């Protein structure tokens, strides 16, 4: 892909030209690429990736604000959107030759602006509940913890659509930090937690997440 200035001496262009080049723009930057005939290959790897992308897009649409905040902060000033970061974080490292059958690879926060991850995550199952105990790391000088945040959703096979809902919890106390997810079925759940930090300059930061699974009784 090449950036263009005054494409076709017209200061603007769009679409394909003579089935040799395609002119368009991305985030306001004009570019040109070679024209190719659209294809729809369906190898095993491509089907796995497409299914995973579809499931992740369904998750993003249902994601509560607490779950989106770290991705919004991470993407500020970057050439990608929060949704892009959410998808790339989950897909990174996935073995598409051996399709995953659960969501244990899920990460709830990519980290942003230097926030530290939790030191530990402990899950305890109850009747329709999961309690997540989140251990803080050593606090850097001038930093404070605004809250422990987390989400929980029913584990599923990412080769199919996402079904269910995503529950969020937050604990803004001074610690110890506990997130209690309620109203759960007796199925395995993915629980991902992270800290929201206050930096010395008063702005917020987010740590990367810890993720584990538990099944309510």
**pLDDT at residue number 42:** 66
Say which residue, 42 or 149, is predicted with more confidence: 149
Tell me the pLDDT tens digit for each residue of 14-37. Answer: 445 555 576 666 666 666 676 666
Contact 112, 205 (CB under 8 A): yes
What are the DSSP calls for the chain, one per residue? -EE-SSGGGTT---EEETTTEEEEEETTEEEEEE---------HHHHHHHHHHHHHHHHHHH--HHHHHHHHHHHTTSSS-HHHHHHHHHHTT--SSS--SS-TT--S-EEETTPPPPSEEEEEEETTEEEEEEE--PPPTT-EEEEEEEEEEE---TTS---S-EEEEEE-SSSSEEEEE-S--SS-EEEEEEEEEE-TTS-EEEEEPEEEEE---
What is the 8-class DSSP label of residue 203?
A: -
**Helix H segments across the chain?**
44-62, 65-75, 82-91
Q: Would you list the domain boundaries of the chain?
A: 2-34, 44-214
The domain over range 44-214 is classified in CATH as 3.40.109.10: no
**pLDDT at residue number 36:** 66
Query: For the chain, what is the mean pLDDT?
Result: 87
Model confidence, pTM: 0.80
**pLDDT at residue number 97:** 72
* pLDDT band of 9, cuts 50, 70, 90: very low
Tell me: pLDDT of 207 over 90: yes
Tell me the pLDDT tens digit for each residue of 97-120. Answer: 778 899 999 999 999 999 999 999
Percent of residues, the chain, with pLDDT higher than 70: 78
Tell me: pLDDT of 46 over 90: no
* pLDDT band of 159, cuts 50, 70, 90: confident
Distance CA 106, CA 60 (A): 13
What is the 8-class DSSP label of residue 161?
A: -
Tell me: pLDDT of 10 over 60: no
Query: Can you tell me the mean pLDDT for 154-161?
Result: 92
Distances in Å between the Cα of 37 and the Cα atoms of 20, 21, 34, 89 are 10, 11, 10, 30
CA angle, 40 then 104 then 114, to 5°? 95
Query: Can you tell me the mean pLDDT for 169-189?
Result: 96
Tell me the pLDDT tens digit for each residue of 58-74. Answer: 999 999 999 999 999 99
DSSP three-state, residue 186: coil
Pairing of strands 15-17, 21-26: antiparallel
Tell me: pLDDT of 151 over 90: yes
């Amino acid at each position: 892909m090449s950036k263009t200035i005054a494409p076709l001496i017209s200061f603007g262009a769009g679409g394909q030209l003579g089935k040799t080049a395609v002119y368009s723009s991305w985030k306001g930057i004009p570019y040109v690429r070679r024209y190719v005939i659209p294809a729809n290959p369906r190898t095993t790897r491509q089907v796995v990736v497409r299914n995973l992308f579809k499931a992740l897009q369904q998750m993003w649409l249902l994601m509560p604000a607490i779950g989106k905040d770290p991705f919004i902060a991470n993407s500020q000033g970057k050439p990608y959107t929060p949704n892009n970061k959410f998808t790339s974080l989950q897909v990174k490292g996935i073995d598409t030759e051996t399709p995953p059958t659960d969501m244990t690879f899920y990460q709830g926060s990519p980290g942003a602006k230097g926030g530290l991850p939790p030191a530990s995550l402990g899950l305890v199952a109850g009747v329709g509940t999961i309690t997540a105990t989140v251990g803080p790391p050593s606090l850097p000088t001038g930093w404070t913890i605004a809250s422990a945040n987390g989400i929980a959703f029913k584990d599923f096979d990412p080769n199919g659509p996402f079904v269910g809902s995503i529950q969020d919890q937050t604990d803004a106390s001074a610690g110890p930090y506990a997130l209690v997810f309620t109203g759960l079925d007796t199925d395995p759940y993915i629980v991902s937690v992270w800290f929201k930090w206050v930096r010395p300059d008063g702005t917020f930061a987010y740590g990367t997440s810890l993720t584990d699974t538990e099944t309510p009784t």
